[in-house]
Amino acid sequence: MTFSAIRIASPAAKRRALLNGVALPVMQSFNTIHAGTNSFTVTKPSGTIDGDLLFLHATIYGANAVTQGTGGWTELWGLSIVEGARSTAHYGYWRIVQSGDTSWVFNIAGGNTDHATICYRVDGHDPATPVADSDTKSQSGTTSQIIIPAIESAITNCLLLHLVAKSDVLSGTITPPGGAETVDHNDDQGNIQHLGAHEDFTAGGGTGTRTYGMSHTVETNFGALVLVQPVAGDPDKLEFESTTDNLLFEDSSGVLLLET
């Protein structure tokens, strides 16, 4: 029997390896920033190495605009939801971590205001074109749910990220749909609440919508879906950095075996 070794970037990526030899992108870690100032500084989540993909979701109380102080991030969305005193602004960015990166400053227009930010780290992505598609949904007023529009990709074996936030007189809860693995859900700053979740999307094509429940009287809420593409190319010839001695082997029938 002939074996070919495929190194996978992390233990989590090993667990998600498919029988066809392709490893899906993996949500690895995150950090949060909560404050009531006119700027915020994003630091790298735990375990970040050069080449990792970072996603930033910022919610600003009062719908104040955000600008990059340090620069180098690609903006996915920037929008405001106007609802009186509960108005919010939402910004989404991504970047590939480069040598020498440590932290990044973002400025908020209009003086000090409450804001809450989450930064997610992903590996196993396509370094050239990591984002296949994204879309957002925003709304205001009394509502018990938000339905995020479908997105799509011709590429299979993607990671689907869910980025959700709400502003509410009462903190309440955000309830994810079935099949979504939640990574963060807390009352952040000034009744701004974030939820981050993800799921494997192996089939390609359209994702369908995702519905999130919102408890209490929601003043503004926001949701986004982002598809992260896997590493491109022939999976039998890919080489990944490994911090362990564990290897995945593929025999001639395409079945992966893990050496431990």
Does the pTM surpass 0.75? The reply is: yes
Residue 159: predicted pLDDT:
92
Q: Are residues 193 and 242 in the same domain?
A: no
Q: Are residues 15 and 83 in the same domain?
A: no
Q: Are residues 236 and 176 in the same domain?
A: no
Nearest-angstrom CA–CA distance, 107 and 57: 14
Q: Are residues 177 and 237 in the same domain?
A: no
Structural domain count of the chain: 2
> Could you report the per-residue pLDDT of 46-66, keeping only the tens digit for each?
899 999 999 999 988 887 889
Q: Are residues 210 and 259 in the same domain?
A: no
> Could you report the per-residue pLDDT of 117-157, keeping only the tens digit for each?
889 899 999 999 999 999 999 888 777 889 999 999 988 99
Query: Which contiguous run of DSSP H or E holds residue 182?
Result: strand 181-189
- Residue ranges in the chain whose pLDDT is less than 50: 1-21, 234-260
Instruction: Give the residue among 122, 117, 77 at the shortest CA–CA distance from 96.
Output: 122
Locate tokens 């701004």: which residue? 192
Q: Are residues 175 and 59 in the same domain?
A: yes
With a CB cutoff of 8 Å and minimum separation 6, the contacts of 178 are none
Determine the structural domain holding residue 6 and report its residue range. Answer: 1-23+231-260
Q: Are residues 120 and 72 in the same domain?
A: yes
